[in-house]
Amino acid sequence: MNAKPTPPLPRYRAYDRDTQPEHLYPPYASTVKRAPHEPLLPLQASLSEITGPVFGFERIRANDWDLTRQGKGEPIGERIVVTGRVLDANGRPVPHSLVEIWQANSAGRYPHRRDTHNAPIDPNFFGAGRTMTDEQGRYRFVTIRPGEYPWRNHYNAWRPAHIHFSVFGASFLTRLITQMYFPGDPLLEYDPMFMSVPDPRARQRLVSTFEWEHTIPEQALGYRFDIVLRGRDETPTENPFA
Ligand SMILES: [Fe+2]
């Protein structure tokens, strides 16, 4: 019996130069010690990276997409809707993909033992959400607008308001970890994480857009944040060596 020929593995498009953060970006202090000093070697992707894992619906709980309904009462802060699409290198929607977010509360504090910032913890806000994209690659979260917070990267360093995103796409190789920012934030140009993406147009891919379409009257402002997992329009990742 003749064995079927193995189909060729899919190839992913490369991103354009300067559209991803520089591994070594001295204003972002932790990259100085952690970034590699030798040129990176390309690794051949094998079937295991390209095929798995894919997470099922059963792991997502009913309220995971609504961060304003995970406690006994309502969290303090301005309610917002964050929605968008997950797209592949060719601009096609990525359906049934796990999207996870995590963020500070409205006072700029994470409920984590290593966050020692003296802003209040909100007992009704845990700062983490998960959902799956639908058939059109869309996701939607309801949450609280996160507060800015200080970090000790340099003197008087403040992070712009941001929401952390992890998107898996079809496999480990398309996993993308990034941060969404808000339009018009005056802290963006002082933020070494944001500024470590050299191309200013690529940086703008990290900034959400305000949208009336997703704004709910008397309830919540709407923001759109589309995520492209690969290729020329790839959303910049977080610096992997920070
Ligand atoms: Fe953060």
pLDDT given for residue 155 in this prediction: 95
DSSP 161-191: SEEEEEE-TTSGGG-EEEEEE-TT-TTGGG-
Give residue 7 CA to ligand 1 midpoint distance, Å: 41
Given a cut of 80, whether residue 172 has pLDDT beyond it is: no
pLDDT given for residue 197 in this prediction: 96
Q: Are strands 162-167 and 98-102 parallel, antiparallel or unpaired?
A: antiparallel
Per-residue pLDDT reduced to its tens digit, 17-60: 889 998 899 999 999 999 998 888 877 766 666 665 555 555 78
pLDDT given for residue 49 in this prediction: 62
Burial 5-44 (b: 16+ CB within 10 A, else e): eeeeeeebeebeeebbbbbbbeebeebeeebeeeeeeeee
pLDDT given for residue 14 in this prediction: 77
Q: Which residues pair with 140 in a beta bridge?
A: 83
Which distant-in-sequence residues (6+ apart) come within 8 Å of 150 by Cβ? 108, 117, 156, 157, 158, 159
Give residue 6 CA to ligand 1 midpoint distance, Å: 43
pLDDT given for residue 2 in this prediction: 57
Give residue 148 CA to ligand 1 midpoint distance, Å: 9
Number of CB atoms found within 10 A of residue 46's CB? 10
pLDDT given for residue 133 in this prediction: 94
pLDDT given for residue 212 in this prediction: 97
Q: Active-site residues: which are they?
A: 110, 149, 159, 162, 164
- This prediction's pTM: 0.89
Give residue 165 CA to ligand 1 midpoint distance, Å: 10
Give residue 199 CA to ligand 1 midpoint distance, Å: 22
Give residue 179 CA to ligand 1 midpoint distance, Å: 8
For the residues 85-89, what does the mean pLDDT come to? Answer: 94
